[in-house]
Amino acid sequence: MDVRRLQCAAARRHSGALRRRDRRSVRLLLDTNILIWWLFQSRNLTREVFTAIHDPDNTTYVSVASAWEMAIKVATKRLAVPPDLASWLPAEIDRQGFTTLSVDLHHVLAIETLPRLHRDPFDRLLVAQAQAHRLTIATADRVFAAYGVDHLPCW
């Protein structure tokens, strides 16, 4: 399978989507839903997203904001995970070879300058982090395209 060809085709199909013509690797930030789908081996992942995460040439980041969002979902019974999220999630992130991306003051303050395209504070924080670190967001949420960040669509 020619990953570069698939990713370029995806870029042509989706305005603002990942463009990899002159890059060999991607620094990929997982949206929380993509992270959950990956960890639970969901069939919702597209071949392009699966391949990009699995590609050893790419660096895959998980934001602390996604862990925060997952903790809220577990606490409100909207997400079921193995017992003890506090032990399980860091171990899974490490086992998958993902890199944790901390949230800092600059990320939080950058949210103020983002257009108000939707109200999800976690998504807005991921956009700010992607902009600050020039990351490509793997997402199933079409609104990310409107922010002008590189994204790898999962739809």
Instruction: Locate the domains of the chain by residue range.
Output: 3-153
Q: Read out DSSP for 7-37?
A: HHHHHHHSTTB---TT-S--EEEE-HHHHHH
User: Quick check: 13 and 2 in contact, CB under 8 A?
Assistant: no
Q: 102-148: per-residue pLDDT in tens?
A: 999 999 999 999 999 988 999 999 999 999 999 999 999 999 999 99
Pick the more confident residue, 48 or 1: 48
Q: What is the mean pLDDT of residues 59-79?
A: 97
* Spatial CA neighbour of 122 closest among 3, 55, 31: 31
Q: What is the mean pLDDT of residues 5-28?
A: 53
Q: Which CATH number fits domain 3-153: 3.20.20.70, 3.40.50.1010, 3.40.470.10, 3.40.50.12710?
A: 3.40.50.1010
**pLDDT-above-70 percentage for the chain:** 85
Average pLDDT of span 149-154? 95
Band the pLDDT of 17: cuts 50, 70, 90: low
Q: How far apart (Å, rounded) are the C-alpha atoms in residues 36 and 13?
A: 25
Between residues 119 and 37, the one the model is more confident about: 37
Q: How far apart are CA 141 and CA 155, in angstroms?
A: 8
Share of the chain above pLDDT 90, in %: 81
Tokens standing for 68?
């925060």
> What would the mean pLDDT of 77-102 be, rounded to a whole number?
96
pTM here is: 0.83
State the Cα angle at 72 between 112 and 130, rounded to 5°: 40
5, 29, 40, 51, 90 from 1: Cα distances, Å: 9, 23, 24, 10, 31
- Residue 24 pLDDT level (bands cut at 50, 70, 90): confident
Sign of CA dihedral 134, 136, 142, 148: positive
